[in-house]
Structure 1
Amino acid sequence: MAEVGRRDACRALTAVAGALALTMLGTAAAHGGPPAAPDRPGAPAAPGHWTGSWEAAASGTAAPLPGASIRNVVRTSVGGTAVRVRVSNRLGTLPLVLGAATVARQRPNAPKSPKAVSGTMRALTFGGRKKITVPAGRDVVSDPLPLNVPAAANLLVTLHTPGDSGPATYHRDALQTNFLALDGNRAAEVGGAGYRATTTSWYYVTGVDVLRPQAPGSVVALGDSLTDGSGSTPNANRRWPDRLAERLRALPPGRRQGVLNAGVAGNRLLREGRGPSASARFDADVLSRTGVRTLIVLEGVNDIKGTPDQTDPAALVAAYRELVRRAHARGIRVVGATITPFGGHGGHTAARERVRRAVNRLIRGGGVFDAVADFDAVVRDPSRPDRLRAAYDPGDHLHFNDAGMRALADSIDLMDLAGPAR
């Protein structure tokens, strides 16, 4: 093992000794049902606190890649001395067979490279096994693994799928270049020469936890494409949850919460759209995540502008209240974001604008969420409040460019992200 590998192992070996080997999170095959033992897969025997550092919510399925190695590039929000990885077959219909799985640090400042930092490549195990079968409708969490994981760094999580395991659970819109080796098990390849194809989706990997000395917990951002990052620059990590993580990293160590992006482009609050509805996937994408202290909800625009459209503001607010009830039952504080303008978009009508404004009035009026992030007020054009400011509009009059994403994140009061649910 290279010297850096020996140092990383020594830092965290004691912390992860005696950890639980494997947690199987029971979910409904299509909609992500109630999790088992959230927050505690692989709980360490020595002092330390597991925190969610990265998330990608399952958004649907893609064709399987039999015989391939899939190298997913994921970015941490906070760092630690050990790591564990969540692998999902939640939306699959057949058992998922993994022949090998690895994690490593990506070469710095090279988001489009499959190369790993020398000495950081580690084999992931599940219950002590390098090969595993994940039942349809389930997630698994890897054994804790000693590795020095920096904050704001890219990790390479590579999975080898030796055969056809049926529809692959994936996150379609990663806004990140990921890599494919189509000719066998190259999971442990450091140089990356075998990765000759790319994809802009994340396959099977839906979470990364890290072990930290402090326990400020994590923040989950539940949303649609506005949270998923549509409109922002690919391979640049400029979604508003990325910027929120940057702001939190500037705080004292005891307040540096991890940020988990549970956005799914096309997602709806009340109905299935792109993937399960926010209500249906809530347990899997929020409550099962590690160390969650705060939830930020930005959902509803696709319900208003979709087909069929939601014409009753009270129905959306009732759905918000139900999410808050479920979060409060787990001691999670909930921040609600107002729905942002989409005037000029093809789905906009005067009637839908009235629904949007009515929902926002109810959110601002209090009594729904523990706190409010008034995203609408931040990004709307003062002269035409049904539209986005031109400086934040990538051109489709719905999503946000990098400047708009930054404005959203910078408007969040960080004091609203701490403390218990009311």
Structure 2
Amino acid sequence: GPRSAARTPAAPAHTTGLWAATWTASPVTGVADSASGSALHLRTIRDVVHTSIGGDAARITLSNLFGTHPLVVDRAGVGGRPATFAGSHTVTVPVGGQAVSDPVPGAVAPDADLVITLRVRSPEGPVTVHEHSHQTSYLDTAWGTRRTDDWRYLTAVDVHTLTAAGTIAVIGDSLTAGTGSSPDTNSRWPDVLADRLGGRYGVANAGIAGNRVLLDGTGVRAVERFERDALDVAGVRTVVIALGINDVQRSPQETDPRHITDALRSMTERAHARGLRVVGATLMPFEGFRTWTPAHDAVRQRANELIRAGGIYDDVIDFDAAARDPQRPTRLRPEYDSGDHLHLNDTGYRRLGSLVDPASLEHEEPMSDQL
């Protein structure tokens, strides 16, 4: 319409480089807005995220996936710079939908905290969140500021880069999301990997604590969310899959390891159809955790045999071999154990992040960069 015809571009058209995710968070659930006042009351969310790669412009994705009413964002900012949506400072995100901002010009630093501010009308119905972020964010309301470890509405920060080759999307469960790691230290293993990649690739963490391959549990099951959370990530070149332990250990338990590995293979095939490379991890031990039984462990070990045998992933990262106790291979090494015998501590996650061979992530054939 006339409005769009008269609109001036938010940033110059980029003819070189590419857009790549520097950070992502998978939407997990809808939570009640605990700070609700009047329906028209405004509050400001400050989502604190940690970048992997930097760039000369940014754009953000907002999700209302679990909302039951349209989400009205009155104002948005990236590191203090205003963000617009189709030229407007206000955006209404439909129920179940998402909105991507216009490019926000200005440098985005690599390996740094970035604050995304969202001023929203007090929502009716659930707020779409990623819980247990292991990162402190803030909610400013009429009653003051409160800390939260939820990321609200924000699911991606992409940067325009002239130097990075793309992004590695890591889809996983609590072990990828960072359960057991120290808050506000960026000690999840994908953070460790991002540091090692030195700006060549962004790392997009699509870990959800409690996530399963085959069944919905915490978050939508991985075979269902794979496209949204991995294949559709901006600039994705390689997908890393670290999933399966919750299918083994959470009720109802999957007793046939082939059901798990067949589903993982099907995810690899879907990635191959997009021209992407897939690297996958073995399942780590958990004896001592409340759900452990010898039968469940046998399913895990058989799944690992199938993964190591090949034909499921293009390359395998053997998390199990690195994390298991040599004296008792059904348990984690004590020095890596967060204390619950399933999740790792910062030392353990540092070890996992050090295992990934950057060369295994490289695409043999360079892909055409679509702007």
Same fold (TM over 0.5): yes
Deviations 1:178-210 (A, max 9, x none): 111112xxxxxxxxxx96211111000011011
Instruction: Give per-residue Cα distances to partners, 1:5-57, cap 9 Å, x unaligned.
Output: xxxxxxxx999314xxxxxxxxxxxxxxxxxxxxxxxxx3x322111100111
Contact 1:317 1:368 in 2 (8 A): yes
Residue of structure 1 in register with 2:12 after alignment: 17
1:55 to 4, 24, 29: 24
What do residues 366-399 of structure 1 show as CA deviations (whole Å, max 9, x unaligned)? 1110000000000000010000000000100000
Aligned to 2:39: none
SS at match of 1:196: strand
Partner of 1:113: none
Alpha-carbon contact 2:10-2:102 (below 8 Å) kept: no
Match of 1:224 in 2: 173
1:205 equivalent to 2:191? Answer no
Cα distance in 2 for residues equivalent to 1:405 and 1:130: 40
> Aligned partner of 1:419: which letter?
H
1:151 aligns with 2:110: yes
> SS in structure 2 opposite 1:281?
helix
Which secondary structure state, in structure 1, belongs to the residue aligned with residue 322 of structure 2? helix
* 1:360 matched to 2:319: no
Kept after mapping to 2: 8 A contact 1:331/1:420: no
Q: Which amino acid aligns with 1:62?
A: V
Q: What is the letter of the counterpart of residue 272 of structure 1?
A: D
Query: Superposition pairs for residues 91-240 of structure 1, below 5 Å?
Result: 91-104=66-79, 121-183=80-142, 196-240=145-189
Q: Secondary structure at the match of 1:280?
A: helix
TM-score (ref. length: structure 1): 0.81
> Which residue does the alignment assign to 1:247?
196
Unaligned runs of 5+ in 2: 1-7, 37-41, 366-371
Distance of aligned partners of 1:289 and 1:385 in 2 relative to their CA distance in 1, 3 Å threshold: same
Distance 1:298 1:80 in 2: 28
Q: Percent identity?
A: 46
Give the SS at the match of 2:19. Answer: strand
Closer, same or farther: CA 156–277 of 1 in aligned 2, 3 Å? same
Distance in 2 (CA, whole Å) between partners of 1:391 and 1:351 is 26
| Distance across 2 between alignment mates of 1:153 and 1:409 | 18
1:257 aligns with 2:228: no
Question: What is the Cα deviation at residue 420 of structure 1?
Answer: 4.7
User: Which amino acid in 2 is paired with 1:17?
Assistant: P
**Structure 2: distance between partners of 1:324 and 1:15:** 37
TM superposition shift of 1:163: 2.9
**CA distance in 1: counterparts of 2:16 and 2:166, whole angstroms:** 15
Aligned-residue Cα RMSD (Å) equals 1.6
The 2-side partners of 1:101 and 1:195 are apart by 20
- TM-aligned CA deviation for residue 122 of structure 1: 0.9
1:218 alignment partner, SS class: strand
**Equivalent in 270, 278, 295 of residue 214 of structure 2:** 270
1:291 aligns with 2:232: no
Q: What is the count of residue pairs matched by the alignment?
A: 352
Distance 2:21 2:74 in 1: 25
CA distance in 2 between counterparts of 1:132 and 1:320 reads: 37
- Match of residue 331, structure 2, among 384, 387, 400: 387
- Partner SS, residue 171 of structure 2: strand
Q: Give how far 1:137 is off.
A: 1.3
Structure 1 position 78, deviation (Å): 0.4
Give distance in 2, aligned partners of 1:177 and 1:419.
Answer: 35
Structure 1 position 412 matched with structure 2 position 356: yes
Taking a change above 3 Å as real, the CA distance of residues 147 and 195 of structure 1, as seen in their structure-2 partners, is farther
Amino acid at match of 1:209: D
Uncovered stretches (5+) of structure 1, i.e. residues with no partner: 1-12, 19-43, 105-120, 184-193
Amino acid at match of 1:84: R
Counterpart CA distance in 1 for 2:284 and 2:69 is 39
Deviation string, structure 1 residues 221-274 (Cα, Å, up to 9, x no partner)? 10000000000000000000000000001xxx6xx1000000000101100011
Structure 2 CA distance, aligned partners of 1:195 and 1:264? 30
Structure 1 distance, partners of 2:267, 2:103, is 31
Q: Secondary structure at the match of 1:336?
A: strand
Code of the residue aligned with 2:69 in structure 1: it is: L
Report runs of 4+ in structure 1 exceeding 4 Å deviation: none
TM-score (norm 2): 0.92
Q: Secondary structure at the residue paired with 2:223?
A: coil
